[in-house]
Structures are given as C-alpha cells and as structure tokens.
Amino acid sequence: MTKTLQTLILLLPWLNTVCSIAQADPNFIVIFTDDQTYRAVGYNNSLIKTPALDQLAKDGLILDNAYVASPVCGASRASIMTSLFPQQHSCVCLHTGPFVGNTQNGTYKCLPQFLNAAGYVTGFCGKSNLGSPQKYGFRHGKEHNDVFDDEAFSFASGFLADRSQDERPFLLWIAPRQPHVPLKPAKKWRDLYNNVPLATDPNFLVQPPTGSLYNQGLPGESYYRDSDYTDNYQKLPAGPPRSRATMLSYIMAYYATISHLDHQVGELMAQLKDVGLYENTAIFFLSDNGYHLGNHGLGNKLTMHEESVRVPMFVHYPGMQQHGVHSDELVSSLDVVPTILEMAGLEIPDTLMGTSLVPVMKNPKHTLREFVASESVGLGGKTGQGHRMIRTKRWKYAVTGINEEALFDEQNDTWELTNLASDSGHRETLLEMRKTMSDWMDSIGDTHARPPSD
C-alpha cells in the first residue's frame, strides 16, 4: 500500500464529514425561544421534562457554552438576525426603530435577505419584537401574539406542508413566546411536576445585593426589572424580595411551560419526518436570553450573570457524522447567520461579527475563539448605558454603566458568588481582561468610557 493511499484512507472519515455537512441546498429551521436559561432544558437538568428537545440534542451537537450578544429581547433578536452587536445594528434594549430602517436601506442585511437572494423560501412565526418580519426580509408569516404559541406552531405546520410540494429549499424561523411571562401552563403540564423535588440554586437570594452589577435600570438606580407572573392564575409578587416558596412556585410554572413548548416541538418534528424533509433539514435551537429565576435575588435578565446571558443551544443535522456529542467551545448567538450561510454555500461577509460553527460540527474540539462578548445597553432609553461582558472559558469580566467591575472564576465558582476584581492575587488576570474588553469596545465602536486603567 502506497503512502498516498494510506493518507487517503486516514482522511476518508474527515472527507465524509465535510461532504455530508455540505449537502446541496439544505433546509433550515431555527427555534428561538424566549427567556429560556441554559439550565432550563432536560439534557442540562434532569428535573425538567423535555423529551423531544433532549432527543434532538442527543442526536445532534450540544453547544454547552453558548451566549447571546445581548440579554434583552429586542436587541438579542436583531443581533441573531444580523450577526452584529446592538451598538452596530442600532437596536439597543427595546429600541427597534433604527434597526428596521437600516435593514430596508441596505446598511446591512438580515439572514432571510441573504437566503431570499439564493432562492430560499423564508417564513417566520411567533414573537418578532422587531415589527413585521416582512420588514427585515421574510417573505411569509407574521408576528403571533398567542402566549401559548398555538398560532405560531399552526403556521409552522402549514408552512412545512406547503414545502413538501415545493422543491425549493427553505428557512423556517420559529420564535415561541414561551417561557416568557405570563406563565399559564395547563394543568396537564403542571401535573408533571407534582412530585418533582424542585429546589432553588446555591446562589438564590431573597433580594439582590447592592451595587450596579445587579442593577437592571439606569446607572445610579436600584431597579430590579420583572413582570408579574401567575400561579394557578393568582398574581404573585413581581419583584424582590421574593421568598424561596414564591420562587419555587414560579419555577414549577416555568418548567411546565417549557414542557408544553417541548411537546409542540415534538409534534412539528414528527411532521417534518412525515413529509420527507427531515434528512436534509438543519435545526438550530437556542433562546434570546436566559432568566435569573431568583438567582442573585433577581428575576428577568439584563445583567451579565450566567443565568441571564447563557442559553441552551444545539444543532441537529442528519448529515453530520458525529451525533450525541458535546462541545465546550465558546459560541455566540451571532454565529447562527454565518453558519447557515456556509451550509447554504453562500459567501460570508467579512463585516459579520459571528463565526461559522461548521468547523465545530466537523470537530467538536475545534477552537472557535478566545472569548465571547455581550452587551446589555440602552437601559432606560439611554444609548450606551448598561452592562458589558467578556467571557473566556475560565474567566468572566463584566463592567457596568458606572464602571463597577466584576471578575469571576467560572472554573472554580460556577455560581458567581465571589467577585475577584479587587483581589490582588488576580491582578494580572484583571488587567488582561480589561485590555480585552477595551479592544472589543473599540472594534464595535462603543462610545462608552473604557474600563478603569489604574
């Protein structure tokens, strides 16, 4: 056997992987939930019952370190559509007006606009938060206001039925409102948790500590943002202080709502198989942001704690050679657009801030980046005010609107209980993270004051 033949044999598994991922004109389904924190799915938390999502994830690639570009609805949704940070696409917090204008005047493109030009059929259902989805490129669909997502999944079902009679490839973007408040799961879903030993996490607090790291409003405020939620349709307290019993009641309703959503996803996946589209459809699952669930004494999102900015994420594609594997590579919601563009055989503009996940789909140990970044700016309608984060595999550095700093050792302090920013033993790490933060702020045109330099 010649050395050339031996080399080809050794390369064959890799070549098969490349070819299978690059099948011609794959279809895409993105399931983009609302307020689902990274521990709120069965494969990350055995207390939550999500059999459909668990099976999809276990047959695909689970991305254990996935972060959103911004932990607030409107900004996060604009970022995932454009692969740009909020201060680049101008949708900060919930201020969506400039985003729509910029997509229509050609300042930048959204994912459906790229795919429309390539002959894809593009459809949207669920929560937009950015106005009519037609305004940023989708040819079919609309925003649905049903808190139970029945209307959205009904549209998705009809869209798939139509595609079974259409040879053109498609993008179906499903944006469920669940598990966003109000939480009103039916009794059958609540009953799943009657005998489940629910518990709060080690960093649960009745109310948050003082300091701007926990502030969900403008600098100088002590504002804790949350919405009313229901337990058996009775209103419970919206903000801190929240007792442990109150949060456990909320957590049960939250988990039950996710179980209902899981059931809807399972029914749609069964239809995808029935109409013969399953084998050539890539499915991306993630959320627009996480949720605190009482951790650090907070509800809602908006801060740079793991519960707020980290989300469950997986990619399922039958064409991948490796299934049921985990990757601990640092992944951003910004990566969805370049990944889909590469899989569709389209050019990836060098203006995008995300990175294609295709190399990780081929090799889960492939290193994508040294850090992920996130910003929660525009709080209270003030552009640039809020929180920023740099996250490496071990360290998290966060800085607030008044430049209060946090340094967390995520390897040894996964619940972020100890802020090491003032610890002299970690001074070198702090300086390195400050420099990384400043460089990143420069790269996106951030006009806010840079981190402390003393």
Query: Closest Cα to residue 431, out of 408, 387, 397?
Result: 397
d(CA 202, CA 415): 7
pTM of the model: 0.93
Q: Is the peptide bond before 51 cis (omega within 30 degrees of 0)?
A: no
Tell me the pLDDT of the chain (454 aa) as tens digits: 454 444 444 444 444 444 445 567 899 999 999 999 999 999 999 999 999 999 999 999 999 999 999 999 899 999 999 999 999 988 787 677 788 888 888 889 999 999 999 999 999 999 999 999 999 999 999 999 999 999 999 999 999 999 999 999 999 999 999 999 889 999 999 999 999 999 999 999 999 998 899 988 877 677 787 755 555 545 555 678 889 998 999 999 999 999 999 999 999 999 999 999 999 999 999 999 999 999 999 999 999 999 999 999 999 998 887 788 999 999 999 999 999 999 999 999 999 999 999 999 999 999 999 999 999 987 765 666 789 999 999 999 999 988 999 999 999 999 999 999 999 999 999 999 999 999 999 999 998 889 988 7
Strands (E) in 242-324, as ranges, are 281-287, 310-311, 314-316
Fold of 25-364: Alkaline Phosphatase, subunit A (3.40.720)
DSSP code of residue 451: P
Neighbours of 295 (CB within 10 A): 25
**Pairing state between β 140-143 and 121-126:** parallel
103 vs 91: CA distance, rounded Å: 11
CA 314 to chain centre: 10
Q: Which of 30, 336, 316 is nearest to 175 (CA)?
A: 30
